[in-house]
């Protein structure tokens, strides 16, 4: 992974110093709240319903074990002993004390971590495929380009006061696991007929109040132009994006208002002065970036599927875990392991200090000392030898981290909702918990097959409900919480926004509603047809009839 140089560390330490001063001025009353607000947000600090929330950046979801252990220690020393993995692959602390945040930042800086630009109207953490570098369908490892984008966007002097937040996702594989169509800018690495590396550029995707699928503005852009082109997009957005209404301030609204062609023209006009300029990525820079993500020191292994199968036959729970929570690897004899953070009784994405330490230990023992966070709010050990899978599973099982539900109904994406977030209209966590309780029969879950269920507590859509196969959105009706259900959303291949089923439901009704939807699917599905494909084939009507009958 990328290793920090003296300069990187210097910048982080200076940032900590800067925020320490700003916090002092705020606490002494010298810096008014309205001025402090964007400064604290760009250091990840929210003032929430019950306590402040601090969002810690995990650039493109990659962590080493030193960082994991520091996170565990911080959750113990400054919080209640657990943290939360967000859909931007970041870590969140829900109960830090406001005045201790500069100390937390200083602790994070010791392991090359920070909270820079994890909130506020600026360029946020760039996200990517959790299987980057190991996926079998990969065209190009996206991490070197994510790292270049991280450097370019970090403390960018021109783009810290944008009309609204700005999110970039990069994918480098055939199957899009980074939801690039629902980002302000989505980048897909591709090779052209000559074998040269380029990027397909999407702009103006997003969820929130107005869900939009991103539009292609460049089919293939030579990789060397990546930064200058992004700079041009951001400048056009900074200058022309709406600032009069925060619900109309995202770039998707600008692109829609201008039209994709006019937007592209404006970008090209701005780009003309930057193209081939000093921020162009030359071969030496690209090579240096790739060096940081060169392949692990893999062994040449002869896979022994019969040994694994024999173990699996003897341990049925392991068999399920092997099937659902491990994934093919580009190197023979290795698998990628998803650690589900969707156990019953804990909020989706929540993880205790002890569990973080367990993952760190396993990463050191079995996965080259690295772990990853996913935008599905899980974690990944990307490089585990097949012969170590059983030991890994046993250790995860002992730590409550071996729930074999990845890709299934209870592997939900869910925002913290009204229990924590001051923007939320409804409490999403109890709904997630009720669904988890109702559908705890694993045989039924496995029979249902692949289903993505996403829950947001308000229309800001942090829980990505629009692109869930089943989406649940919390709404407020005259002070009461209700939940709207949508069906048929998809993050990719091709991306789709779910269709609203009809009038909303109370929290208590939701498990029954989901049960009816699932029964309808089971009755209508063709052999091997997954839920979302049935939705698209039969349309929403049969589901509606059953639910509102």
Partner 1 sequence: MPKRILNGALIPDEGESQSIQSFTDWQASASGQAVCVTPDDDYLALIPHLSALTLITVQFADFNDGRGFSLGRRLREAGYLGELRATGSFIRDQLHYLSRCGFDGFLLAENVAQASVDASLTEFSVSYQAAQDDPLPRFNVVR
| Binding footprint of partner 1 on the chain (CB under 8 A) | 5, 7-8, 10-11, 14-15, 17-18, 21-22, 31, 35, 38-39, 121, 148, 151-163, 227, 235, 238-239, 243, 273, 277-282, 284-285, 287-289
Min dist CB 314 to partner 1, Å, is: 52
The number of angstroms, rounded, from the C-alpha of 182 to the middle of its chain's C-alpha atoms is 11
| Minimum CB distance to partner 1 smaller for 253 or for 510 | 253
Could you give the CA distance from residue 403 to residue 413 in angstroms, rounded to a whole number? Answer: 15
- Characterize the bridge pairing of strands 168-171 and 127-128: parallel
CB closer to partner 1 out of 161 and 444: 161
Question: Nearer to partner 1 by C-beta: 282 or 527?
Answer: 282
Q: What is the Cα–Cα distance from 392 to 295, expressed in whole angstroms?
A: 22
Q: Which is nearer to partner 1, 62 or 356 (CB)?
A: 62
Q: How many CA atoms lie within 13 A of 239 on its CB side?
A: 9
Question: Could you tell me which of 190, 185, 189, 48 has the C-alpha nearest to residue 119?
Answer: 48
Q: Residue 285 CB, nearest distance to partner 1 (Å)?
A: 5
Residue 166 or residue 390: which is nearer to partner 1 going by CB? Answer: 166
Contact indicator for 411, 378 with CB cutoff of 8 Å: yes
Q: Which three-class secondary structure state does DSSP give residue 360?
A: helix
Smallest gap from residue 216 Cβ to partner 1 (A) = 25
Cβ contacts of 391-400, under 8 Å, gap ≥ 24: 391/366, 392/337, 392/362, 392/366, 393/318, 393/321, 393/322, 395/358, 395/361, 395/362, 396/339, 396/358, 396/362, 397/317, 399/354, 399/355, 399/358, 400/343, 400/355
In the complex, the smallest distance separating the C-beta of residue 178 from partner 1, rounded to whole angstroms, is 22
Of the pair 292, 314, the CB lying nearest partner 1 is at 292
Closer to partner 1 by Cβ: residue 8 or 433: 8
Comparing CA positions, the residue from 236, 257, 253, 234 lying closest to residue 245 is: 253
Nearer to partner 1, 7 or 527 (CB): 7
Task: For the CB of residue 151, give the shortest distance to partner 1 in the complex, in Å.
Answer: 4
Residue number, 216 or 240, with CB nearest to partner 1: 240
Q: What are 500's strand-pairing partners?
A: 486
Q: How many CB atoms lie within 10 A of CB 50?
A: 10
The DSSP output letter for 302 is: -
CA dihedral of residues 217, 222, 225, 226 (deg, nearest 10): 70
In angstroms, rounded to a whole number, what is the distance separating the alpha carbons of residues 407 and 376? 9
For the bound state, the minimum distance from the C-beta of residue 236 to partner 1, rounded and expressed in Å, comes to 9
The distance of closest approach from Cβ of residue 278 to partner 1 in the complex, given in angstroms and rounded to an integer, is 5
Q: Tell me whether the omega of the peptide bond preceding residue 494 falls within 30 degrees of 0, making it cis.
A: yes
Taking the complex as a whole, the smallest distance from the CB of residue 270 to partner 1 amounts, in Å, to: 9
Q: What is the distance of C-alpha 167 from the center of its chain?
A: 11
In the complex, the smallest distance separating the C-beta of residue 43 from partner 1, rounded to whole angstroms, is 12
């Amino acid at each position: 992974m990328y290793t920090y140089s003296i300069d990187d560390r210097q910048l982080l330490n200076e940032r900590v110093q800067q925020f320490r001063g700003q916090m002092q001025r705020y606490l002494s009353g010298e810096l008014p709240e309205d001025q402090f607000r964007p400064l604290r947000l760009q250091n990840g600090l929210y003032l929430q319903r019950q306590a402040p929330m601090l969002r810690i950046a995990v650039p493109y979801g990659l962590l080493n074990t030193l960082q994991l252990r520091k996170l565990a220690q911080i959750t113990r020393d400054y919080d209640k002993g657990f943290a939360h993995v967000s859909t931007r692959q970041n870590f969140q602390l829900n109960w830090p004390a406001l005045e201790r945040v500069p100390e937390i930042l200083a602790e994070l800086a010791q392991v090359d971590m920070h909270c820079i630009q994890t909130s506020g109207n600026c360029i946020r953490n760039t996200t990517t495929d959790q299987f980057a570098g190991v996926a079998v369908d990969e065209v190009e490892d996206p991490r070197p380009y994510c790292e270049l984008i991280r450097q370019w966007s970090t403390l960018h002097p021109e783009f810290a006061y944008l009309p609204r937040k700005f999110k970039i996702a990069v994918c480098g594989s055939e199957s899009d696991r980074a939801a690039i169509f629902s980002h302000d800018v989505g980048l897909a690495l591709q090779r052209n007929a000559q074998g040269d590396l380029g990027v397909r550029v999407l702009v103006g995707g997003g969820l929130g109040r107005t869900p939009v699928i991103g539009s292609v503005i460049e089919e293939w852009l030579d990789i060397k132009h990546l930064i200058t082109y992004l700079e041009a997009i951001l400048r056009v957005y900074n200058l022309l994006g709406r600032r009069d209404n925060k619900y109309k301030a995202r770039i998707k609204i600008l692109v829609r208002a201008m039209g994709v062609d006019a937007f592209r023209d404006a970008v090209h006009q701005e780009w003309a002065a930057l193209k081939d300029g000093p921020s162009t990525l030359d071969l030496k820079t690209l090579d240096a970036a790739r060096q940081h993500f060169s392949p692990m020191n893999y062994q040449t292994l002869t896979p022994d599927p019969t040994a694994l199968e024999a173990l699996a036959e003897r341990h049925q729970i392991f068999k399920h875990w092997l099937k659902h929570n491990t994934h093919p690897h580009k190197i023979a004899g290795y698998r990628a392991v998803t650690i589900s953070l969707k156990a019953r009784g804990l909020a989706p994405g929540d993880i205790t200090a002890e569990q973080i330490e367990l993952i760190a230990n396993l990463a050191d023992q079995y996965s080259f000392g690295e772990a990853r966070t996913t935008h599905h709010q899980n974690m990944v050990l990307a490089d585990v030898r097949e012969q170590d899978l059983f030991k890994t599973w046993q250790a995860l099982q002992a730590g409550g981290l071996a729930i074999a539900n990845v890709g299934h109904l209870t592997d939900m994406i869910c925002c913290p909702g009204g229990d924590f977030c001051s923007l939320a209209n409804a409490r999403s966590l109890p709904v997630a918990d009720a669904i988890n309780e109702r559908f705890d029969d694993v045989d039924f879950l496995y029979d249902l097959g692949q289903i993505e269920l996403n829950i947001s507590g308000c229309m800001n859509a942090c829980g990505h409900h629009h692109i869930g196969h089943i989406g649940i959105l919390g709404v407020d009706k005259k002070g009461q919480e209700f939940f709207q259900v949508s069906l048929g959303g998809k993050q990719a291949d091709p991306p789709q926004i779910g269709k609203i089923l009809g009038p909303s439901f109370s929290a208590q009704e939701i498990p029954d509603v989901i049960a009816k939807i699932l029964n309808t699917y089971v009755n209508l599905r063709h052999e091997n047809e997954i839920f979302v494909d049935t939705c698209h084939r039969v349309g929403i009507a049969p589901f509606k009839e059953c639910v509102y009958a």
